[in-house]
Amino acid sequence: MSLQPGDALTSHNFGLQIDGVMVEYLQSVEGLSMEQDVIEYQQVSANGKPVVKKLPGVKKAGQCTVVRGATQSASFSQWINQSIQGNMGSARKNASIIFMDYMNSPVKRYHLRNAWCSKVDASSAKAGEASALTETVTITFEELVIE
């Protein structure tokens, strides 16, 4: 690994794996978060003083948004189409957002369990403009595991 102790990751090289296969390098990732309910438990102690405890509750499902260049990546496009068509038997996949170091070695993984695409937005196109076409894809998932 090219990172030395104390070095932080840079955000310039990351991609998306679906079922363990890298299918796309991404332009951006937003909203990658994990949340769970907090249960507040109140009682009175043996000496009569109020005590408040906080306990972990139910994990919540989530979603994130990724932006990719409009490429001919067949695997990612098939996954989007299966999701949008409602073919959930094959659309729910285990996906991972993987961040790499300067040597392209994976150093941080965000695993998205039972993930599927819930929204796709294509970038605007204008004649005579020199810009890359992109797709913004919202990925919904049931559980986020950070490795």
User: 134: domain CATH number?
Assistant: 2.40.30
Residue 22 lies in a domain: yes
Q: Is residue 78 part of a domain?
A: yes
Distinct helix (H) and strand (E) counts, the chain: 2, 10
Is the residue at 45 inside a domain?
no
Range of the domain at 139: 14-35+61-146
Q: What is the pTM of this model?
A: 0.81
The pLDDT profile of the chain, 147 residues, written as one tens digit per residue, is 566 777 766 667 889 999 888 888 888 999 998 899 999 999 999 999 999 999 999 999 999 999 988 877 788 888 989 998 999 999 999 999 999 887 788 888 999 999 999 999 988 888 888 888 889 999 999 999 998
Whether 1 is covered by a domain: the verdict is no
Domain count across the chain: 1
DSSP output for 87-127? -HHHH-EEEEEEEE-TTS-EEEEEEEEEEEEEEEEEPP--T
In a domain, 75, yes or no: yes
**Alpha helices (runs of H) in 1-147, residue ranges in sequence order:** 74-84, 88-91
